[in-house]
């Protein structure tokens, strides 16, 4: 089975523009950016509760503590949120009516929380509608790890951010592209 396509910055912008023109734009933008800017798995995004992201004072936390039951490997881990992503999450949370810490962060149109499967289907449909072939629910995660690699982040740091237990798993996520190769030869 082929790996999910990684997106260029231009392709991600195309996805975000598409989202902005449709219903539930703030919600959908936040879900996509959690995968692209924090490397979260779709199942982890679906499992988020408002209290995982929003502090008691109403501010957005700087990191999310995922419990074992919220992760693929059943190992607790921290997701670090950069300033850009915290602003996006704050904009989304501002759209919620009566946010309660124990409620799902993301709701479907039927007012139920997303399951990993329904969110996976949403991502597949989104990328297909935007016209990006080869993209899937794992695209954001692969793009996140590849972007870190292209910026020179060490593989052990990437492994920790991805929540991988094996370094070879992380290495398989990195999509080597022409830009990375050009930058590498300039180092010689």
Q: For the segment 65-98, what is each residue's pLDDT rounded down to a tens digit?
A: 999 899 888 888 999 999 999 999 999 999 998 8
Helix or strand or coil: residue 170? helix
For the chain, the structural domain boundaries read 9-135, 140-186
Cα torsion through 89, 117, 171, 15, rounded to 10: -50
pLDDT attached to residue 1: 57
pLDDT tens-digit series, residues 25-78: 999 999 999 999 999 999 999 999 999 999 999 999 999 999 989 988 888 899
Residue 111 has pLDDT above 80, yes or no: no
* 9-135 CATH fold: hpI Integrase; Chain A (1.10.443)
Please report, rounded to a whole number, the percentage of residues in the chain having pLDDT higher than 90. 69
Contact 148, 139 (CB under 8 A): no
* Least confidently predicted of 10-19, 82-91, 111-120: 111-120
Lookup: tokens for 20: 């902005």
């Amino acid at each position: 089975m082929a790996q999910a396509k990684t997106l260029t910055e231009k392709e991600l912008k195309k996805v975000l523009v598409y989202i902005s023109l449709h219903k539930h734009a703030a919600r959908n933008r936040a879900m996509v950016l959690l995968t692209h800017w924090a490397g979260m798995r779709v199942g982890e995004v679906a499992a988020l509760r408002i209290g995982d992201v929003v502090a008691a004072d109403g501010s957005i936390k700087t990191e999310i503590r995922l419990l074992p039951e919220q992760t693929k490997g059943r190992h607790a881990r921290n997701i670090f949120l950069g300033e850009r992503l915290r602003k996006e999450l704050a904009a989304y949370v501002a759209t919620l009516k009566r946010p309660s810490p124990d409620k799902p962060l993301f709701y479907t149109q039927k007012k139920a929380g997303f399951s990993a499967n329904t969110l996976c289907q949403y991502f597949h449909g989104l990328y297909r509608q935007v016209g990006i072939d080869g993209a899937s629910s794992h695209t954001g995660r692969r793009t996140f790890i590849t972007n870190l690699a292209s910026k020179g982040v060490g593989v052990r740091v990437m492994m920790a951010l991805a929540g991988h237990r094996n370094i070879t798993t992380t290495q398989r996520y990195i999509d080597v592209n022409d830009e990375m190769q050009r930058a590498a030869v300039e180092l010689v």
